[in-house]
Amino acid sequence: MAKKVFNFGAGPAMLPEPVMQKIQEEWLDYRGMGVSVIEVSHRAKEFVAILEEAQALFRELAGLPENYRILFIHGGARMQFSAIPLNLAGRRPGKRCLYFETGNFAKLAAKDAKELCNVETAASSAGTNYDRIPDYDPAIFTDDVSYVHITGNNTIYGTRWNQFPETGEVPLIADMTSEILSRQIDYSKFGVIYAGMQKNLGPSGMAMVIIREDLLGFASAQTPILLNYTQADKDNSLTNTTNTFAIYVTKLVLEWQKAQGGVAALERRNEEKSARLYRVIDGSDFYRGVAHSAHRSIMNVSFNLAAGEELEAKFLKEAGAAGLYALKGHRNVGGIRASIYNPMPMAGVESLAEFMEEFEKKNG
Amino acid sequence: MAKKVFNFGAGPAMLPEPVMQKIQEEWLDYRGMGVSVIEVSHRAKEFVAILEEAQALFRELAGLPENYRILFIHGGARMQFSAIPLNLAGRRPGKRCLYFETGNFAKLAAKDAKELCNVETAASSAGTNYDRIPDYDPAIFTDDVSYVHITGNNTIYGTRWNQFPETGEVPLIADMTSEILSRQIDYSKFGVIYAGMQKNLGPSGMAMVIIREDLLGFASAQTPILLNYTQADKDNSLTNTTNTFAIYVTKLVLEWQKAQGGVAALERRNEEKSARLYRVIDGSDFYRGVAHSAHRSIMNVSFNLAAGEELEAKFLKEAGAAGLYALKGHRNVGGIRASIYNPMPMAGVESLAEFMEEFEKKNG
């Protein structure tokens, strides 16, 4: 019997319990084949069916318009930090690429792109330690810009874009790793959306890339073949042996999301979950939220203890003993971070909220 | 109860039964943590221990010299077809890179490198439809060559290098995807050895890269950060969220290999397994081996039926019904292919050999 634990890890994150049980049940014998799903060829009809079901489920859940393609690419979101400029900088001869600097991963995306295009900072909230989404001047989105890059939800600081920038004819590219399918969005506003799987979709090691069809065909000749979106689209993500396990798990997670009522229902639940924690933080001087209240994430709730690091260490130790796992904040900000992606049930959030209230009573 | 099946798939291939059972057993609760191993952070001490144990086990099993580093890189062997020239072509100003053309994947490795270095063909066996390893002139390994690339074992045609080329001071790079740890080799003869995991090591989606230390530091500035060997070495393969599942399974497979008696014992068994099948092929005019007998693989046994495609289709259908799964040859050569990597037990090979003898009696 497994110990009852709620896992608040930022990623690889918890997966839905019914999904984990299903994987265990069919582990040694996938649908009567006598072999495991991870022992089946990526070109076998059984696996191709899994891949195509995952694509169809995502399209349905997201309400994705028909002129967008769904690709699976090796390497997580970080690999996309290179793939995006390799595939899209060449849209315009000047290779001007605008990056919004809203946190650690936004900064890394710009850093990884530096040798592959002309990176410019659209706006930055570094001055307030990334506690918000910065203001910007829409006049910067001129026609000679290859693309504009944002990070939809900033995992470490617990901020998110409430209003996505209106970039007009310039393609908007979004890293949605930590919030994919957690809220309803209008996909037609985006050129590319990508997401590492290990938070809301599945296990680590792979990314989903959603690309508007007219943005295919701009890859530089030096693009590694497995990072070339046009090639991936042509081969339906099977240019080489793909990460079959990741796609299989993702398909199960998408089925689970559909059974939960889809994105609208998940979004409502995510609002409730995060609101429960923010109420504890706002109702006390003992806890201090990292993010400005107008820019708060519903996926990652980051906070500190006013009393400082020593009491934070005690908080983490006692939370761990109470079955509240992986609450330590990222090394860049310290403190506490509760990652509450789609699979986290309200019961887990309630346990944490009650623990926080109790801890404050004893130590406040 | 799972149907008893022997899985001869070329990859993703079968994994050892005790490994698959162990994964299932600890799936929902890794070592009392109350969470699955795929739900643990790649930076958690529990996962870092898995990664380091995998490296230590590989080093021990391979007898790897101390001046070689072990990296885990996203994307399988195909991603290395780009990573090798990105990391190593710059060793010499002319970026001359020699490729031995011994089959489909050898050709793809050269093709993927074309925009990243000056590809030259060292020798080719295309003229005999890749039924052998070609002769070559060792004088081509001159000091201005950045590297020489070979494919150790050619999965589709069922050939292998018995004697690796002596390249002197020029680094020898080998794709060992389909034979890693299946036979004893002298690693000190190689600059880089890489292997997609999905045949002898684990699940699909990732490669192990073994690199001699003095070959670090030559990556082109345009190398995507996750394909940069120097960066991977600096970060011990944790530059980003790695494919934690693949490394976990690989560690279990390496433990199993050690328990089998290590590489020497596995090599003996692989010799026996392949010899059993080659005896059936050589003892009959009914079956025809694809590979020249002097260049035969002990991992992939490819053959045709003299009577042609119609009877091959019947062979595959009846074999499948007898629990002998995934024997269809690659679309490039057709016919039958039995992939008998380390995890395939002698019992599976014996079943296939007996089936072949029986089928010949009935249809010969």
Q: Give pLDDT tens digits for A114-124.
A: 999 999 999 99
Which DSSP helix (H) or strand (E) runs through B74?
strand B68-74
Partner B contacted by A198 (CB < 8 A)? yes
Give the pairing type, strands A172-175 and A153-154: unpaired
Q: Single out the residue of B183, B181, B201, B160 nearest to residue B14, CA to CA.
A: B201
CA gap A217, A142 in Å, rounded: 21
The fraction of chain A above a pLDDT of 90, given in percent, is 97
Q: What is the CA radius of gyration of chain B?
A: 21
Residue A302: the pLDDT is 97
Confidence of residue B1 (pLDDT cuts 50, 70, 90): very low
Please give the DSSP secondary-structure letter assigned to residue A328: B
- All residues of chain A having their beta carbon less than 8 Å from the beta carbon of residue B227 are 82, 224
Confidence of residue A76 (pLDDT cuts 50, 70, 90): very high
B100 to chain A, closest Cα gap in Å: 20
- All residues of chain A having their beta carbon less than 8 Å from the beta carbon of residue B14 are 35, 39
Residue A331: the pLDDT is 83
Cite the beta strand spans of A257-323 per DSSP E: 287-289, 300-305
Cβ proximity of B148 and B167 under 8 Å: yes
pLDDT in tens, B173-210: 999 999 999 999 999 999 999 999 999 999 999 999 99
CA gap A351, B320 in Å, rounded: 52
CA gap B108, A269 in Å, rounded: 48
Q: Find the closest chain A residue to B331 by CA distance.
A: A43
B169 to chain A, closest Cα gap in Å: 28
pLDDT over 60 (residue A2): no
The answer for A 297-336 residues in CB contact with B (under 8 A) is 323, 325-326
Average pLDDT of the segment spanning B302-318? 97
CA gap B270, B179 in Å, rounded: 10
Cβ proximity of A91 and A147 under 8 Å: yes
Q: Between helices B262-282 and B45-62, what is the axis angle to 10°?
A: 60
Mean pLDDT of chain B: 97
Average pLDDT of the segment spanning A130-135? 97
Q: Single out the residue of A231, A211, A262, A221 nearest to residue A61, CA to CA.
A: A262
A114 to chain B, closest Cα gap in Å: 9
CA gap A232, B262 in Å, rounded: 39
pLDDT over 70 (residue B331): yes
The fraction of chain B above a pLDDT of 90, given in percent, is 97
Average pLDDT of the segment spanning A69-76? 98
Q: Find the closest chain B residue to A82 by CA distance.
A: B224
Average pLDDT of the segment spanning A267-275? 98
- All residues of chain B having their beta carbon less than 8 Å from the beta carbon of residue A10 are 41
Confidence of residue A3 (pLDDT cuts 50, 70, 90): low
pLDDT in tens, B131-142: 999 999 999 999
Partner-chain residue, chosen from B44, B78, B246, that has the shortest CB–CB distance to A226: B78
CATH 3.40.640.10 given to domain A19-259: yes
Which DSSP helix (H) or strand (E) runs through A234?
helix A229-234
- All residues of chain B having their beta carbon less than 8 Å from the beta carbon of residue A12 are 38-42, 241, 244
Partner B contacted by A85 (CB < 8 A)? no
Partner-chain residue, chosen from B3, B204, B227, that has the shortest CB–CB distance to A242: B204
pLDDT in tens, B17-57: 999 999 999 999 999 999 999 999 999 999 999 999 999 99
Partner A contacted by B34 (CB < 8 A)? yes
CATH class of A262-363: alpha beta
CA gap A157, A107 in Å, rounded: 13
> From residue B358, how far is each of A37, A207, B280, B325 by CA, in Å?
30, 47, 11, 17
Question: Cβ contact (<8 Å) for B204 and A325?
Answer: no
- Mutation target for A interface from B15, B81, B198, B204: give the one with most A CBs within 10 A: B204
Phi and psi at residue A237, in whole multiples of 5°?
A: 65, 15
Partner B contacted by A134 (CB < 8 A)? no
- Mutation target for A interface from B74, B80, B225, B247: give the one with most A CBs within 10 A: B74
Residue B2: the pLDDT is 52
Residue A332: the pLDDT is 83
Question: Cβ contact (<8 Å) for B224 and A226?
Answer: no
Q: Single out the residue of B334, B225, B240, B343 nearest to residue B288, CA to CA.
A: B334
- Mutation target for B interface from A3, A39, A206, A244: give the one with most B CBs within 10 A: A39
Partner-chain residue, chosen from A14, A78, A246, that has the shortest CB–CB distance to B240: A78
Q: Domain limits of chain A?
A: 19-259, 262-363
A11 to chain B, closest Cα gap in Å: 6
- Mutation target for A interface from B8, B81, B235, B243: give the one with most A CBs within 10 A: B243
Residue A11: CA count within 13 A, CB half-sphere: 27
Average pLDDT of the segment spanning A333-349? 96
ipTM > 0.90 (yes/no): yes
Question: Cβ contact (<8 Å) for B34 and A325?
Answer: yes
The answer for B 231-270 residues in CB contact with A (under 8 A) is 239-246, 249
Partner B contacted by A177 (CB < 8 A)? no
The topology (CATH level 3) of B18-259 is Aspartate Aminotransferase; domain 2 (3.40.640)
Partner B contacted by A83 (CB < 8 A)? yes
Partner-chain residue, chosen from A3, A29, A39, that has the shortest CB–CB distance to B12: A39
- All residues of chain A having their beta carbon less than 8 Å from the beta carbon of residue B20 are 27-28, 36
pLDDT in tens, B78-124: 999 999 999 999 999 999 999 999 999 999 999 999 999 999 999 99
- All residues of chain B having their beta carbon less than 8 Å from the beta carbon of residue A76 are 74, 240-241
Residue A1: the pLDDT is 45
Question: Cβ contact (<8 Å) for A12 and B81?
Answer: no
pLDDT over 50 (residue B272): yes
Q: Single out the residue of B265, B234, B204, B255 nearest to residue B60, CA to CA.
A: B255
- All residues of chain B having their beta carbon less than 8 Å from the beta carbon of residue A9 are 35, 39-41
Partner B contacted by A123 (CB < 8 A)? no
B60 to chain A, closest Cα gap in Å: 26
DSSP character string of B43-72: TSHHHHHHHHHHHHHHHHHHT--TTEEEEE
pLDDT in tens, A198-239: 999 999 999 999 999 999 999 999 999 999 999 999 999 999
B252 to chain A, closest Cα gap in Å: 15
Give the pairing type, strands A153-154 and A145-151: unpaired
Looking at the DSSP bridge assignments, the partners of residue B153 are B160
* Dmax (CA) of chain B: 62
Confidence of residue A333 (pLDDT cuts 50, 70, 90): confident
- All residues of chain A having their beta carbon less than 8 Å from the beta carbon of residue B226 are 75, 78-79, 82
B27 to chain A, closest Cα gap in Å: 7
